[in-house]
């Protein structure tokens, strides 16, 4: 049921200009967007509008004080053209967890869910049908209120844009375990999907790229002895037949793919440990051959296998296994997402 | 010498609508702004334009990944209507230090300095003459390039806006020494003037305000035993007749007011110590009466005295002295800034 959402449709659809067989990630945008404004102390009714530029005063606080949060989601079309989301209420809840930490007013659930459904209905032709493709959904909120005073804004914009995207394939990923830079502090905003968390990663990542790696493995800022995240993803490490991931904290994002993998792996009889992982045990496991797999987990790539890692001027290769937890779990999770397999967890959500 | 800067003047000045006797901080903006765009791999020539809205695609990376930095400066008019800046090259250098850490392309010095001078020339009538007032200058750079990929943008905007501002007076400031939240990580971006550093402070500051304080004293994220910053300012603590401030680090901003105060105080014969300060020594000094002053230091307020602090459910009052280092140093520094005193340091910069 979509109530009370005003819809203004575009007069000039761009859909015929799009090559749906050759989609990249997040670079072509659908015809419409959802917009919802916070002003006069409350969120105003959301509207579906033609995708259009955002106009802001130069003093808008987003430009100066980084007050912004976002989410990443996907919509899938099955063979019968039914449209599915994956655990969307978890994205909604996390958006509000991020909002609170960034002093952004929390959103009403119906504005988020009904707004999203209205947008997907209007742009349903933009949801790719090709296997592996999906409609990437980007809800975001930022400070649109004005003034140079370093304090929370009095106005915000909540927007959802969507981008039809092909299968995310990063190629062979080699990672560098970070010994100097950090993405988050104890008592900081690392657990939130705050814009500033990502900007801070770009320079250290560029340094790793310059050394021949594709991504950084983040470690704790105090000792750099604990493995925390893989680039902008959560990280899983398989030692022998045990799958290990770090516990969430105020430094680590509570990833929806991460927690789905934990549940799914346990259900499939894989031994899963959620505990702190030290760099030294991973290096030791690589040396003695018990390190079988490492992979990142996140909405965009779902699971991104890691082929090797660098640490303290040494490089370690991971074995090339015929059957990996990564590919097994990725197939299981995407089959649930795309309505190809039974969903005993109740994760799938029909639009 | 201002070369090659295109100037497009407004046809409708707003200056007659402004009450220069009752200016707040950073809420009225001058007629013009400087704009300089990074595209095709380089910074394009800056232009002075009428103050105007910024138009961005919803996928512009500033909205999603927090890639933004800024500076704060002031221009002063002396009794002869000469216009003065304070150590502007230090702001320029720090902007580029911030840029590097946030993976933003560094700016050429002449674009910054000549652009700023051109802007101040066009808007010279906006520089307040009233004692204590100044033209607050806000240079900022943000990612204007598009796309949902979490990587540095390919386009940026460097903008300078100015705002005539009255004397910054915060009233009696009581601060809460933070035991849970943090503003920066080792190896993070705390030393940079990155937007995200400020957004992360808003929520803990609001919690402090709810408890009856006006501001937070930030401590290190690992132990919360070391005093690092005061809100968005550097912090100075006077114990007996010694003035103490923490050393700069990757967590602490290299404040221009901070380093000016250190030099000035030394020159005036005050014993200055730049070293780590523990919360426990400040509490102990408050208890035994040796804690004489605490104050924040930054461009907006110059020096902001602290009247008392809270820590672990106890409150500590600072003595009310007739003569304080805070007021003495504030007068000395503002006299230099406004060309009322000799500038033996060469800090003043005539436009």
Are A66 and B196 an interchain contact pair (Cβ–Cβ within 8 Å)? Answer: yes
Q: Which domain holds residue B56?
A: 6-165
pLDDT of residue A36: 98
CA gap A147, B162 in Å, rounded: 11
In a domain, B343, yes or no: no
Averaged pLDDT of chain A: 96
CA gap B127, B137 in Å, rounded: 10
How many CB pairs below 8 Å do chains A and B form together? 246
Give me the number of domains chain B comprises.
2
- In the predicted model, is pLDDT for residue B158 greater than 70? yes
Cα B126–Cα B129–Cα B131 angle in degrees, nearest 5 = 135
Sequence-separated (6 or more) residues with CB below 8 Å from residue B290: B239, B240
Q: What is the pLDDT of residues A87-119, one digit of tens each?
A: 999 999 999 999 999 999 999 999 999 999 999
Q: Same structural domain for residues B41 and B104?
A: yes
Out of B109, B135, B165, pick the residue that ends a domain. Answer: B165
Averaged pLDDT for residues B249-254: 96
Q: Same structural domain for residues A199 and A115?
A: no
CA gap A225, A176 in Å, rounded: 14
Q: Same structural domain for residues B81 and B101?
A: yes
Q: Same structural domain for residues A93 and A212?
A: no
Sequence-separated (6 or more) residues with CB below 8 Å from residue A311: A176, A177, A179, A279, A283
Out of A165, A197, A230, pick the residue that ends a domain. Answer: A165
Sequence-separated (6 or more) residues with CB below 8 Å from residue A314: none
- In the predicted model, is pLDDT for residue B68 greater than 70? yes
Percent of chain A with pLDDT over 70: 99
Are B206 and A103 an interchain contact pair (Cβ–Cβ within 8 Å)? Answer: yes
Q: Same structural domain for residues A237 and A110?
A: no
Q: Same structural domain for residues A157 and A181?
A: no
Q: Same structural domain for residues A235 and A187?
A: yes
In a domain, B113, yes or no: yes
In a domain, B346, yes or no: no
C-alpha distance from B51 to closest chain A C-alpha (Å):
8
Out of A116, A146, A165, pick the residue that ends a domain. Answer: A165
Rounded to the nearest 10°, the torsion over CA A78, A84, A87, A90 is 150
In a domain, B348, yes or no: no
B151 to chain A: which residues are within 8 Å by CB? 202, 205
pLDDT of residue A56: 98
CA gap B91, B256 in Å, rounded: 8
Q: Which of B199, B219, B252 to mutate to test the interface with A (most CBs of A within 10 A)?
A: B199
Q: Same structural domain for residues A122 and A233?
A: no
C-alpha distance from B327 to closest chain A C-alpha (Å):
23
Q: Same structural domain for residues B243 and B317?
A: yes
Are B59 and A185 an interchain contact pair (Cβ–Cβ within 8 Å)? Answer: no
A94: CATH = 3.30.470.10
C-alpha distance from A152 to closest chain B C-alpha (Å):
6
Averaged pLDDT for residues B314-325: 97
A256-275: burial string, b at 16+ Cβ within 10 Å, e else? bbbbbbbebbeeeebebeee
In a domain, B211, yes or no: yes
Residue with tokens 């990833």: A255
Least CB-CB distance to A180: which of B26, B52, B187? B187
Percent of chain B with pLDDT over 70: 99
Are B185 and A180 an interchain contact pair (Cβ–Cβ within 8 Å)? Answer: no
B138 to chain A: which residues are within 8 Å by CB? 59, 64, 148
- In the predicted model, is pLDDT for residue B110 greater than 70? yes
Q: Same structural domain for residues B113 and B218?
A: no
B136 to chain A: which residues are within 8 Å by CB? 148
In a domain, B79, yes or no: yes
Q: Same structural domain for residues A98 and A211?
A: no
C-alpha distance from A98 to closest chain B C-alpha (Å):
11
Q: What is the pLDDT of residues A262-279, one digit of tens each?
A: 999 999 999 999 999 999
B267: CATH = 3.20.10.10
How many residues belong to chain A? 351
- In the predicted model, is pLDDT for residue B180 greater than 50? yes
- In the predicted model, is pLDDT for residue B170 greater than 80? no
B161 to chain A: which residues are within 8 Å by CB? 58-59
In a domain, B58, yes or no: yes
Q: Same structural domain for residues A157 and A207?
A: no
Q: What is the pLDDT of residues A190-245, one digit of tens each?
A: 999 999 999 999 999 999 999 999 999 999 999 999 999 999 999 999 999 999 99
């Amino acid at each position: 049921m979509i109530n009370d959402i005003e819809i203004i449709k575009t007069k000039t659809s761009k859909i015929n200009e799009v090559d749906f067989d050759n989609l990249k990630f997040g670079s072509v945008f659908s015809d419409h967007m959802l917009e919802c404004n916070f002003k006069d102390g409350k969120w105003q009714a959301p509207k579906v509008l033609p995708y259009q530029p955002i106009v802001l005063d130069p003093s808008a606080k987003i430009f100066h004080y980084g007050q912004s949060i976002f989410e990443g989601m996907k919509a899938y079309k099955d063979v019968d053209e039914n449209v599915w989301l994956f655990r969307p209420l978890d994205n909604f809840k996390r958006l509000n967890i991020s909002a609170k930490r960034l002093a952004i007013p929390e959103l009403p659930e119906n504005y988020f869910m009904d707004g999203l459904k209205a947008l997907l209905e209007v742009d349903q032709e933009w949801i790719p049908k090709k296997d592996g493709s999906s409609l990437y959904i980007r809800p975001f909120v930022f400070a649109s209120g004005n003034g140079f005073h370093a304090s929370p804004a009095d106005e915000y914009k909540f927007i959802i844009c969507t981008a039809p995207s092909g299968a995310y394939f990063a190629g062979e990923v080699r990672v560098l375990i970070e010994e100097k830079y950090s993405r988050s502090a104890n008592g900081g905003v690392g657990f939130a999907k705050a814009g500033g968390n990502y900007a801070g990663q770009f320079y250290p990542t560029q340094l790793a790229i310059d050394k021949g790696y594709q991504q950084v493995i983040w470690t704790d800022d105090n000792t750099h002895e604990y493995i925390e995240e893989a680039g902008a993803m959560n990280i899983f490490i398989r030692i022998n037949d045990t799958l290990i991931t770090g516990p969430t904290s105020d430094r680590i994002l509570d990833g929806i793919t991460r927690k789905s993998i934990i549940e799914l792996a346990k259900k499939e009889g894989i031994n899963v440990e959620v505990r702190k992982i030290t760099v030294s045990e991973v290096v030791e496991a690589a040396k003695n051959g018990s390190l079988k797999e490492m992979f990142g987990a996140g909405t965009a790539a779902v699971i991104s296998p890691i082929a090797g890692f660098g640490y303290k001027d040494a490089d370690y290769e991971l074995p090339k296994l015929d059957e990996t937890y990564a590919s097994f779990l990725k197939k299981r999770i995407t089959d649930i997402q795309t309505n190809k397999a039974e969903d005993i967890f109740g994760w799938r959500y029909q639009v």
